[in-house]
Amino acid sequence: MRAFETAGIDPHFYATRERKVDETFPWEIIDTGVDRGFLWSEREACYASRLTPDCRTACSACGIQETEMGGVCHG
Residue 12 in any domain: the answer is yes
Q: Which of 44, 38, 40, 45 is nearest to 75 (CA)?
A: 38
Residue 21 in any domain: the answer is yes
Residue 31 in any domain: the answer is yes
Look at residue 75 in the predicted model and tell me its pLDDT: 47
Residue span of the structural domain in which 44 resides? 2-66
Angle at 33 between CA 65 and CA 73, to 5 degrees: 30
Residue 53 in any domain: the answer is yes
Q: DSSP of 3-52, one letter per residue?
A: HHHHHT--HHHHHTSPPPTTSPPGGGGS--S--HHHHHHHHHHHHTT-PP
pLDDT in tens, 39-71: 899 999 999 999 998 887 888 888 877 666 555
Residue 11 in any domain: the answer is yes
Share of the chain above pLDDT 70, in %: 87
